[in-house]
Amino acid sequence: MAYVSKSENSYITTSLLAGIRADGRSPTDYRNISLEIGVVPVANGSARARVGETEVVAAIKLEVEDVGEGENEGRDGGRVLCHVSCTPSAYPHHSLSALDELSDELSSLLQSILSHTLTPSEQLTLVPGKKAWFISLDALILSDAGNAHDALFIAARAALWDLRIPYTRGIEFDIKDGEVVVGDSEGIGRMIGRKRTVDFELPDLLDDGVPLEGRDSLPVCISLNLLPPTHFLDASLQEEQSVLSRLLLFFSFPQPSPTSTLYGTRFIGPNELPFNMLKPLVKDGEKYARELAEALNKKLKQEESQVSAPMSAFG
């Protein structure tokens, strides 16, 4: 279903080349981002993000699994599985098979980026060689008014920020004088090398758990919509239909160093990109990503320090 006519397309692109957008934003302005964590109390971590009218909800469930060799078995350092569902309410004109395809694309994107950033992590090992955590992150795109990629990653990142891993303690069995003694091994999953740990226990059932290590440096996604010689951010639905070429960059900023890590790039679109434009785009993308990451971190810290629970998450 076509959403823009040729003359609208031409109007939007010529306006963008002059730096004017339909709603008065500048080319590097994002629409208002609204972020809420802890929206799904029954999940181990959850968040809801809105960029303009685009809305994504992400939630994480933790499971313990046995370490093994197969693809669906656990491994030391933890395992992550991400899935994104594009709801029919967000894409009313897509057929079911087109929805499935879109969901698969986004799932494999989220999976490939997050599996490299989250695993392997010592925090996710419970009993070395035997048991490890399995993080299952599911995201729902509730409505898409443009720029679903960035909103998806903002929600996933915030859900991972909100994630609490239950505090576990390793226990070991020992036989002394013919008697079985159950003793405590110290520390949580940091027991690679402790020879006797065979199981774990939850010392405090009411404890929420500890946050994910390195959550400050989770990756952000910046979509640069390419309209040579310029680019712009956070496209609305009509802008996305008029300017089809995009470069997605996934940056992470490990604190406190000033360097950045690139966790992925994706190129989408029917137009080619002159080689000499790539470097400046990546540099600009890094700059935007750094600002976004800082703004997100600040907001998330603020959210956490407020102890109030939302009255009704979906009211």
Partner 1 sequence: MFTIVSPAPRGDDLEYTTTRHHPSVKDEIDMDIEEQGGEFGEGPSRLASPGETITSAQAFMRGHGTYVENEDLVSALTGTIERVNKLVSVRALKSRYNPEVGDLVVGRITEVGPRRWKVDANARQDAVLMLSSINLPGGVQRRKLESDELQMRNFFEEGDLLVAEVQAFFADGAMSLHTRSLKYGKLRNGHLVMVPPALVRRLKSHFYALPCGVDLILGLNGYIWVSKHVKQSEQEGEEGFDAEAVYSNKNDDIDVATRTAIARVSNIIRALARHSTPLTDVLLVEAYDWAIDQDISVKDLSAEETSEAMVAAITFRA
Partner 2 sequence: MAQTTDRRRIVGPESSAPPVFEIDEQKRSQDPPLPSRSKRSPRDIRPIFLQTGLISQANGSAYIETERTKIACAVYGPRQLKNTAYSEKGKLNVEVKFAPFSCTRRRAPMKDAEDRPISLLIAQSLLPSIRLELFPKSSIDIFITVLENDGTEGCVAAGATAASAALADAGIELIALSTSCSASVIGDGPEIWLDPTEEESKAARGTMTVSYLPALGTLTNVWQTGKMSPDEAMQCVEKCVERCTDIHHVVSKTLLDSAQARLGSNP
- Residue 275 within binding range of partner 2, rule CB under 8 A: yes
Q: CB of residue 1 vs partner 2: minimum separation in angstroms? A: 9
Q: By CB neighbour count within 10 A (0-12 exposed, 13-18 middle, 19+ buried), where does 206 fall?
A: exposed
> Cα–Cα distance between 246 and 240 in angstroms, integer?
9
- Residue 259 within binding range of partner 2, rule CB under 8 A: yes
- Residue 304 within binding range of partner 2, rule CB under 8 A: no
- For residue 274, the partner it binds in partner 1, partner 2, none, with Cβ less than 5 to 8 A by kind, is partner 2
How many residues touch partner 2 under the rule CB under 8 A: the total is 47
> Cα–Cα distance between 122 and 115 in angstroms, integer?
14
- Residue 283 within binding range of partner 2, rule CB under 8 A: yes
Token couple for 111:
């999976």
Spell out the alpha helix ranges (H) of 78-172. Answer: 96-118, 148-162
Cis peptide before 88 (omega within 30 of 0): no
- Residue 105 within binding range of partner 2, rule CB under 8 A: yes
- Element containing residue 9 per DSSP (H, E): helix 6-17
Q: CB of residue 279 vs partner 2: minimum separation in angstroms? A: 6
Per-residue CA distances from 254 to 10, 161, 221, 241, 279 (Å): 41, 15, 15, 35, 22
Q: Report the candidate in 52, 215, 242, 230 with the shortest Cα–Cα distance to residue 148.
A: 52
- For residue 312, the partner it binds in partner 2, partner 1, none, with Cβ less than 5 to 8 A by kind, is partner 1
For residue 69, the one-letter residue type is E
Using CB under 8 A, which of 134, 161, 263, 288 touches partner 1?
288
- For residue 129, the partner it binds in partner 2, partner 1, none, with Cβ less than 5 to 8 A by kind, is partner 2
- Residue 65 within binding range of partner 1, rule CB under 8 A: no
- Residue 299 within binding range of partner 1, rule CB under 8 A: yes
- Residue 7 within binding range of partner 1, rule CB under 8 A: yes
Residue 126 is given by DSSP the state E
Q: Return the bridge partners of 65, or none.
A: 132
Find all residues with CB under 8 Å of 103, minimum gap 6, and list them. Answer: 83, 84, 85, 86
- Residue 296 within binding range of partner 1, rule CB under 8 A: yes
- For residue 171, the partner it binds in partner 1, partner 2, none, with Cβ less than 5 to 8 A by kind, is none
- Residue 24 within binding range of partner 1, rule CB under 8 A: yes
For residue 74, the one-letter residue type is G
For residue 198, the one-letter residue type is V
Q: CB of residue 10 vs partner 1: minimum separation in angstroms? A: 5
R_g of the chain, CA atoms, integer Å: 22
- Residue 305 within binding range of partner 1, rule CB under 8 A: no
Using CB under 8 A, which of 262, 290, 303, 313 touches partner 2?
262
Token couple for 179:
């008697």
Binding segment for partner 1 (CB under 8 A), chosen from 27-35, 76-84, 192-200, 250-258, is 27-35
- Residue 315 within binding range of partner 1, rule CB under 8 A: yes
> Cα–Cα distance between 43 and 188 in angstroms, integer?
22
Using CB under 8 A, which of 74, 128, 146, 189 touches partner 2?
128
Q: Which residues bind partner 2 (CB under 8 A)?
A: 76, 101, 104-105, 108, 112, 116-117, 128-129, 172-175, 178-180, 192-193, 195-198, 247, 251, 259-275, 278-279, 282-283, 286
Interface ranges with partner 1 (CB under 8 A) = 1-8, 10-12, 14-15, 18, 20-26, 28-30, 32-36, 48, 50, 288, 291-292, 295-296, 298-299, 303, 310-312, 315
